[in-house]
């Protein structure tokens, strides 16, 4: 099966998907593409199935979190799947870091 997308096109799609996790260095992500290429899916004509770039980036973030500034977003993204719980505004959702900070302040007796 021949791939109709050139490497720069695949790199662009993967970097676009990886951007939300803030890669430490984009060249490291590009080098990792070959190691995670098995996560990319192609149709019968050899065209990249664009949603597979998300699958590849998810695997990369999960297995190599050191390549990203915000790998914890993968867990938060999976937890909320892009939607806020019914009746709660997205701005009211408290991150894990915020919860930990609030708990620490409560232990010290500091009121927010």
Asked if residue 1 belongs to a domain, the reply is: no
**What is the per-residue pLDDT for 2?**
45
Asked if residue 78 belongs to a domain, the reply is: yes
Domain that includes residue 72, residue range:
7-107
Cβ–Cβ < 8 Å for 57, 14 = yes
Cβ–Cβ < 8 Å for 71, 61 = yes
70-96 burial string, b = 16+ CB within 10 Å, else e? ebeebeeeeeeeeeeeeeeeeeeeeee
Asked if residue 112 belongs to a domain, the reply is: no
10/40 Cα distance (integer angstroms): 9
15/58 Cα distance (integer angstroms): 12
Count: domains in the chain = 1
Asked if residue 2 belongs to a domain, the reply is: no
Q: pLDDT above 90 covers what percent of the chain?
A: 16
Asked if residue 96 belongs to a domain, the reply is: yes
Cβ–Cβ < 8 Å for 76, 93 = no
**What is the per-residue pLDDT for 94?**
65
Residues of the chain with pLDDT under 70: 1-6, 74-95, 111-112
**What is the per-residue pLDDT for 16?**
92
Q: CA of 34: how far to CAs of 40, 44, 46, 52, in Å?
A: 10, 21, 17, 14
Would the pTM of this model clear 0.75, i.e. be above it? no
């Amino acid at each position: 099966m021949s791939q109709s997308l050139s490497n720069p096109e695949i790199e662009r799609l993967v970097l676009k998907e990886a951007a939300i996790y803030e890669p430490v260095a984009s060249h490291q992500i590009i080098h990792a593409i070959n190691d995670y290429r098995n996560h990319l899916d192609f149709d019968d004509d050899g065209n990249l199935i664009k949603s597979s770039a998300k699958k590849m980036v998810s695997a990369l973030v999960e297995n190599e979190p050191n390549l990203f500034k915000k790998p914890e977003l993968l867990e938060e993204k999976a937890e909320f799947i892009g939607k806020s719980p019914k009746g709660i505004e997205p701005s009211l959702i408290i991150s894990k870091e915020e919860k930990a900070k609030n708990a620490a302040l409560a232990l010290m007796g500091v009121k927010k």
